[in-house]
Amino acid sequence: MFDQISAINRSHPQPPAAARSQSPPPAAHLFEADIRSPHDLIDDRPDDGVFRVHRDVFRDPEVFAHEMRSFFAAGWAFVGHASQLPQPHDFLCVELAGQPLVLMRDAAGRLHCVHNSCRHKGARVVHHRRGNRRTHVCHYHGWSYGSDGANIAIKGKAEGDYTPAFDAESHDLAAVARFGEYRGFLFASLDADVPPLDAWLGDARVFIDLAVDAAEHGLELVPGAVSYTYRGNWKLQLENSTDAYHFSSTHPSYLRLLERRSRMPQRTDVEAAIWQAGKKQQEMMGSFGFANGHALVWTTTPQENHPLYPLLPALRERFGERRADWMLRTRQLNIFPNLQIASNAALQMRVIRPVAVDCTEITSYCLAPVGEAAPQRRQRLRQYEDFFNPSGLATPDDTVTYEDCQRGFASGDIEWQQGYARGMGRLVWGADAHAAELGIRPTTSVSGSFEMSDETIFHALYRHWAARLRKAAA
Ligand SMILES: [Fe+2]
C-alpha cells in the first residue's frame, strides 16, 4: 500500500506551507482521481469542496503498524509532565511505541528520559511505576545506575578481566534520541531526525501558554490518574475531543442533568450556571488547524460563570485584555499524536496510547494551579469527576460510541466517512480575525455559531497524517 503512496507523492510534490495562507492550496491530497486505487485513504480536494477519510484508516492493521512506526517510534510524542517528578531523584516509568522508558530527575534537578533496559543483558532496571531513588540496580547482574541514568557500578568489575574495548563503551542507560520540555510538558522522540520541539509545536504553544499563564504559580497534575481502555481506534479519541457536533446527541443525559441542576437555586455548579446563561446568550465557536497535525477548537461561554472570572482583572493587567479573555474561553487542544488538553470549568489532560488498531488506552489527569486554595481545588475536582472521569457523565457515552463506530467499520463495502464536511463552506486559509487577536498563524481557521459545529478541525490531523506516511514510504 505505502509503495503506491510513495509513487504518488513523487509525481505530486507538496506545495510550500506559506502558500496556504493566501488561497486554497494546490492539491495537498494523497490521491488524484486519475490514479485513485482501492488503497486511497485521504480524499482531500479543497477546490472541489471534498474532504473524506477512508475507513481503512481506522480498521486496517497494516495502516496501524505504519502509524506506530511513523508517529510514535519516529516523531515527537508526549511522555509526561514535569510536576510528576517534582523532587531530585524522582522517576516515572512510561512507554512509547512499545518501548519502556524512564523519566528521571537528577540530583541537580535536570530531567532525563532514558530507555529502561540494562546495558548488560537488557532487563528492565526500574520496576515501580514511579518513586524516588538515588540508585537503580538491575535485578539480574547488579549493574547500577544513578538518577541521571549514568552507570555508576558494574558488579565485580575489577575481577572481570574486561578489555579496553569494553571500557571504551558507554554503559549508561541509553538516552532517547530527543527529549524536550515546553512549560512543564515533556516530549520525547525515539528518532533524532525531528525538528526542534518549539518548531514542532508551533503556534499550538500559545494555547499551552494560555493554560499555564492563567495559573499564577504554574500548573501541576492532581495526584491520581485514571487509565481505561476501549475497543476502538486511537484517532476516534483524538477526533472526539474537538467534535462539537456530537455533544447534544451523545450526551443527552448530561444535558438533562445540567438542566435539572440549573433549576435548583442552591446549586452553584459552574456547568449549571453556564447552561442557564447559555440559554440567553448565543455561543460562538471556531477552530484552528496547525502544521504538524495540531488543532484547537474554542467556544465562548459567559465569562461571569467561568472559574477564572474573579481573576479576570488581574489576568487582563498581566496579559492584556484579549489574551485574558481567551483564557476564559473553552478550549480543546490536540497536540499530535497523543496529548489532549481540555480547558473549561475544569482542566483535563488526556494521554492516548494506541494498543492495537482497535484498542486504545487513555490516561486522564486533572490539571490544577499550583497553590490553589482548598475550596477551589475541591470544586475543581468535583467538576472534573462530573464530566471527564471514566465514571463521570460524559466519558462513558464517548467510549461506548467509539466501540460502536469500530464495530460499524466492519461493514467493509462502505469506504468513505462523511464526517469531515461541516464548516468547509466558511473555511479561511490562514488566520481569521480570531487568530489575529492572538497573533497566531494557523493553516486554517473557521468560526461561526455553536450549531455550525465545525468538522474542518480534523483536516489538519489527516493532512499531517498523510504527509508523514508518504514521507516514511518515500
Ligand atoms: Fe463526547
Calculate how far, in angstroms, residue 181's C-alpha sits from the geometric centre of ligand 1.
30
DSSP codes joined into one string, 162-215: --HHHHHS--SPPBPSEEEEETTEEEEESSS-S--HHHHHGGGHHHHHHHHHTS
Buried b (16+ CB within 10 A) or exposed e, 250-270: bbeebbebbeebbeeeeeebb
Q: What is the pLDDT of residues 165-174, one digit of tens each?
A: 999 999 999 9
Q: What is the mean pLDDT of each run of 10 residues along the chain (474 residues)?
A: 36 36 40 41 93 95 93 96 96 96 98 98 97 98 98 97 98 98 97 97 98 92 93 97 91 85 64 53 85 96 79 94 93 97 89 97 94 86 84 90 96 91 95 96 94 93 92 76
Calculate how far, in angstroms, residue 244's C-alpha sits from the geometric centre of ligand 1.
8
Cβ burial of 223 (10 Å; 0-12, 13-18, 19+) is exposed
Q: Indicate the DSSP class of residue 95.
A: E
Calculate how far, in angstroms, residue 439's C-alpha sits from the geometric centre of ligand 1.
30
Calculate how far, in angstroms, residue 341's C-alpha sits from the geometric centre of ligand 1.
14
Calculate how far, in angstroms, residue 387's C-alpha sits from the geometric centre of ligand 1.
9
CA 28 to chain centre: 24
Q: Whole-angstrom Cα distance, residue 421 to residue 48?
A: 12
Calculate how far, in angstroms, residue 398's C-alpha sits from the geometric centre of ligand 1.
5
Q: What is the pLDDT of residues 181-220, one digit of tens each?
A: 999 999 999 999 999 999 999 999 999 999 999 998 999 9
Calculate how far, in angstroms, residue 240's C-alpha sits from the geometric centre of ligand 1.
6
Query: In this structure, what are the phi and psi dihedrals at residue 339, rounded to the nearest 5 degrees?
Result: -125, 135
Q: From residue 265, give the alpha-carbon distance in Å to each of 261, 262, 269, 272, 277.
A: 8, 7, 10, 10, 14
- Is the CATH code 3.30.70.20 the one for domain 77-182? no
Nearest CA-CA partner of 136 in 100, 157, 124: 124
C-alpha cell, 46 = 479543497
Calculate how far, in angstroms, residue 334's C-alpha sits from the geometric centre of ligand 1.
15
Amino acid at 12: H
* Other Cβ atoms within 10 Å of 35 Cβ, number: 13
Calculate how far, in angstroms, residue 98's C-alpha sits from the geometric centre of ligand 1.
28
Domain layout of the chain by residue ranges: 77-182, 202-473
Cell 460510541 locates to 401
Beta-strand pair 284-289/295-299? antiparallel
Name every residue whose Cβ is closer than 8 Å to that of residue 456 and which is 6 or more positions away in sequence: 51, 287, 289, 420, 422, 423, 424, 427, 444, 446
Contact call for residues 176 and 74 (beta carbons, < 8 A): no
Calculate how far, in angstroms, residue 83's C-alpha sits from the geometric centre of ligand 1.
28
Calculate how far, in angstroms, residue 386's C-alpha sits from the geometric centre of ligand 1.
13
Cell 558507554 locates to 170
Calculate how far, in angstroms, residue 255's C-alpha sits from the geometric centre of ligand 1.
12
Q: Whole-angstrom Cα distance, residue 167 to residue 177?
A: 23
Q: Indicate the DSSP class of residue 304.
A: G
Amino acid at 133: R
Beta-strand pair 428-429/77-81? unpaired
How confident is the prediction for the chain on average, in pLDDT?
87
Q: First vs last Cα of the chain: how many Å apart?
A: 12
Calculate how far, in angstroms, residue 247's C-alpha sits from the geometric centre of ligand 1.
6
Q: Whole-angstrom Cα distance, residue 433 to residue 115?
A: 45
At 307 the pLDDT is 77
CA 230 to chain centre: 17
At 382 the pLDDT is 85
> Domain 202-473 in CATH: superfamily?
Naphthalene 1,2-dioxygenase Alpha Subunit; Chain A, domain 1 (3.90.380.10)
Q: Whole-angstrom Cα distance, residue 215 to residue 326?
A: 14
Calculate how far, in angstroms, residue 385's C-alpha sits from the geometric centre of ligand 1.
14
Calculate how far, in angstroms, residue 245's C-alpha sits from the geometric centre of ligand 1.
9
Name every residue whose Cβ is closer than 8 Å to that of residue 107 and which is 6 or more positions away in sequence: 88, 89, 134, 147, 148
Calculate how far, in angstroms, residue 297's C-alpha sits from the geometric centre of ligand 1.
14
SS3 436: helix
At 24 the pLDDT is 40
Calculate how far, in angstroms, residue 415's C-alpha sits from the geometric centre of ligand 1.
24
Name every residue whose Cβ is closer than 8 Å to that of residue 371 and which is 6 or more positions away in sequence: 216, 217
pTM summary value: 0.88
Calculate how far, in angstroms, residue 232's C-alpha sits from the geometric centre of ligand 1.
15
Contacts of the segment 298-303: beta carbons below 8 A, 24+ positions apart: 298/326, 298/329, 298/330, 298/331, 298/332, 298/434, 299/244, 299/329, 299/330, 299/331, 299/450, 300/329, 300/330, 301/274, 301/277, 301/328, 301/329, 301/330, 301/344, 302/274, 302/277, 302/278, 303/328
Calculate how far, in angstroms, residue 401's C-alpha sits from the geometric centre of ligand 1.
9
At 221 the pLDDT is 92
Contact call for residues 144 and 136 (beta carbons, < 8 A): yes
* Region label for 26, one of left (φ > 0), alpha (ψ between -120 and 50) or beta (otherwise): beta
Query: In this structure, what are the phi and psi dihedrals at residue 449, rounded to the nearest 5 degrees?
Result: -75, 165
